Amino acid sequence: MITGINHITFSVRDLNASIEFYRDLLGMTLHVYWDTGAYLTAGDTWVCLSVGVPRPAGDYTHIAFSVGEKALAELRSRLKLAGVEEWQQNTSEGDSLYVLDPDGHSLELHCGTLATRLAELEKSPYKGLVWC
C-alpha cells in the first residue's frame, strides 16, 4: 500500500539555472549536487533535479507546494521581480500562485490544506460532487 510521496523528480536542461530557481527563488534547501543532478528538500519533501530533456505536460498537471500566507506574499514579489512566468490565475479555495520553472514544469505555491478545501466544498460543491 502506498504511504505517501517519496520524492519528486524534475527533468532539467540547465542544472545550475534550476538550482538557482528552486534554492534561491523558492527557498528549497540544497543538500548535494553532481554533474547531472541535485537533491533538495522543501520541508519534508525530497526533490530531485535530473539533467535530461524536459517534456512538461502542457495541461493542468502540476505539483503544488505548501506555503504560508506571509511566505507566499514574499514569493509572489520575488518571482515577479525575477520575471518568472505565471501559467494560471487562482480560482479555488486558498491563495495560490501558479508558476513555471525554467524548463516549463507547472508548479503551484498554495496556502491551504485538503481539510480547508473540503470545508469550502461543503459550502460550494463542484458540479457532480459525490462525498465518499
Render pLDDT for 67-105 as a digit per residue (tens, 0 to 9): 999 999 999 999 999 999 999 999 888 899 999 999 999
The CA-CA-CA angle for residues 87, 82, 96, to 5°, reads 40
Chain segment 11-62, per-residue pLDDT in tens: 999 999 999 999 999 999 999 999 999 999 999 999 999 999 999 999 999 9
Q: What's residue 92's pLDDT?
A: 87
SS3 state at 18: helix
Query: Which domains, from first to last, does the chain contain?
Result: 7-116 (3.10.180.10)
Q: What per-residue confidence (pLDDT) applies to 47?
A: 98
CA contacts within 13 A on the Cβ side of 49: 31
Q: What is the spatial distance between Cα 101 and Cα 68, in angstroms, rounded to a whole number?
A: 20
Q: pTM to 2 decimals?
A: 0.92
> Do residues 98 and 88 make contact, with C-beta atoms less than 8 angstroms apart?
yes
